[in-house]
Amino acid sequence: MKLRLITPAAALLLFCAGAAALAVEVQDLRSVPAITGDAQAGATKAALCVACHGPDGHSMVAAFPALAGQNATYNYQQMLQYQSGQRVSAVMAPFLASLSDADLRDIAAYFAAQAARPANAAASAQATETGRKLYVDGDPARGIPSCQGCHGVNGVGMQPAGPNDRVPWHSFPTLAGQQGDYVAQQLRAYKEGARGGTTSAVIMQEVAKTLDDAAMQAVAAYIAAH
């Protein structure tokens, strides 16, 4: 469902007098159902994916995102976005062009079934301390929210509060085992507005705007270690 949305920046932060209101088309992901798929079939269909995303979804290259343990619904939605061109990637688009909807679901289910593994387990606690603080508590002084609130402890994702919980936790990505560089890259993409177009993305855009480069690096380092 396409909706119009005025970016909140202008009306919100009144002291930023220069910000003008932008009208943006936004895809509504708030009510997306959790997808199901055949992980077994997905294993076969994901054969092409492992070249970049690594066996079992543990990516070897820092710039390519790990997919192991990623929320199936999130994965599915991202693949749809690549297919439709909403998320632009010259690399991903051809891979996904020929896949059917059932294929996407199966692939997503396959990766969701894999176990996540820290990309950089060797990082010392001291080195990731700044990132840990940001991840767990955020930084109220700079308006940085805690990542843990939506992405879960150590990035494993959140479970709904109860049967009446309407927040689509299943569509938010897990961060456990994710590549640090990739995380930093995406945060930058959110901040600059290169990545957007969905209700979840708009939230991430606002979050990313609170982060400066150093903060992004710190968080990325922490995520990489977990």
Partner 1 sequence: MKPLQYSPVSLAVATLLMAANTAQAADGSASARVGDLQYGNALDPGGFGAALMQRDLLGYSLLRAGVSRTPTGDLYTAPSPVPEDQGLGDWRYTNGLELGYITQTGDKDAQFFRQYSDWQNGFALSLAWLDMWKPETGDYLEARASYLSEDDNFLRLRVGRYGDFRVEAFYRNMPHTLTTTAFPLWEGIGSDTLTLPANLTPGNSTPADVKAASDAAARTTLRVTRTRAGVSLEGDMGRGFIGYGALTNEQRNGTRLWGGPFFFNYPFVNNGGVMETVRPIDFSTTDVSAGLRRAGKVWRFNTVYSGSFFRNRKTTFTYENPFVIAPVTGTPAAGILTEGQFSLDPNNDAHNLRVELGRTLPQRGDLSLTAALGTMRQNDPIGLNLNCAAPGQVGISGMPFVVNCADWNTPASLSRSTAQARIDTLLLDAKLSFHPTNTFGWHLELRRYDEDNKLRYQAFNPLTGDYGYITLNGSMGTVVPGEMGLFNPNNPAYWSYPAKIGSFPVGYTDTTAELGGDLQMGYRNTLNVTYTFRRYEPDFREVEYTNEHRIQIALTSRQFAGGTLRASYDYATRNGGDYNYFPYASFYAQSLPGFVMPDTANGEASLFAFTTDAMRKFDLSDRDQHKFRLIYTLPVGEATTLSATAHGQYNSYDTQIGRKGDNATGLTLAWDYQPMPRLTLNASASAAFSKMRWANVADNEGLVASDPGNADPTFGGPKYPLANVWNESDRERSLNANLQFTYQWSRTKLDGGYNLNDSRGRLRYDYASISAISATQQAFAATISQFPDTRYRTHSFDLGITQTLSKQWSARLFGRYEHGKFADWHYTGFDTALAYDHRVYTDRGPATDYDAGLVGLMFRYVP
Partner 2 sequence: MRLCFFRRRGTDARPIRRVSALLALALLASHAHLAQAAAPAPTIDLPATNMSGDTSVYREISADLARLAASLPGDGGVAENPGAPGATPIGTATCSACHTQEQLLYSHTTHARAFAAGSGGASAVGSCESCHGPGSLHAGSPTTKGAIISFTHEGGTPVQTQTQACMGCHTGGARQHWLSSVHETRGLSCSDCHNPMARGSPEGLMAKRSINETCAGCHQDVRAKFNRRSHMPLPEGQMSCADCHNPHGSVTKPLLKTDTANGTCYGCHAERRGPMLFEHPPVRENCMNCHDPHGSNQQTLLAAPVPMLCQQCHTAVRHPNDLQTPAGLANGGAPDERLISRACLSCHTTIHGSNNAAGAKFHR
DSSP state for residue 154 in the 8-state scheme: G
* Contact positions with partner 1 (CB under 8 A) in 44-73: none
Stretch that binds partner 1, among 24-32, 83-91, 109-117, 185-193 (CB under 8 A): 24-32
**C-alpha closest to that of 117 among 171, 184, 66, 42:** 66
* Number of chain positions touching partner 1 (CB under 8 A): 20
Q: Check binding of 193 to partner 2 (CB under 8 A).
A: no
Q: Check binding of 210 to partner 2 (CB under 8 A).
A: yes
User: Which residue's entry shows tokens 């690549």?
Assistant: 82
Q: Report the residue number, 119 or 216, with the smaller CB distance to partner 2.
A: 216
Q: Which strand (E) or helix (H) includes residue 125?
A: none
Q: How far is the CB of 166 from partner 1 (least distance, A)?
A: 4
CA gap 79, 21 in Å, rounded: 30
Q: Which does 140 bind (CB under 5 to 8 A by kind): partner 2, partner 1, none?
A: partner 2
Residue 112, SS3 per DSSP: helix
Q: Check binding of 158 to partner 1 (CB under 8 A).
A: no
Q: How far is the CB of 67 from partner 2 (least distance, A)?
A: 25
| List of E strands, 19-141 | 23-27
- Residue from 146, 156, 189, 193 touching partner 2 (CB under 8 A): that is 146
Residue 109, SS3 per DSSP: helix
Q: Check binding of 19 to partner 1 (CB under 8 A).
A: no
* Residue 14 phi, psi (nearest 5): -65, -25
Q: Which residues of 35-73 are buried (b: 16+ CB within 10 A; e: fewer)?
A: bebebebbbebbeebbebbbebbbbeebebbbbbbbbbb
- Residue from 47, 59, 143, 199 touching partner 1 (CB under 8 A): that is 199
- Residue from 25, 31, 101, 142 touching partner 2 (CB under 8 A): that is 142
Residues in touch with partner 1 (CB under 8 A): 3-6, 11, 14-15, 17, 21, 26, 28, 30-31, 166-168, 199-200, 202-203
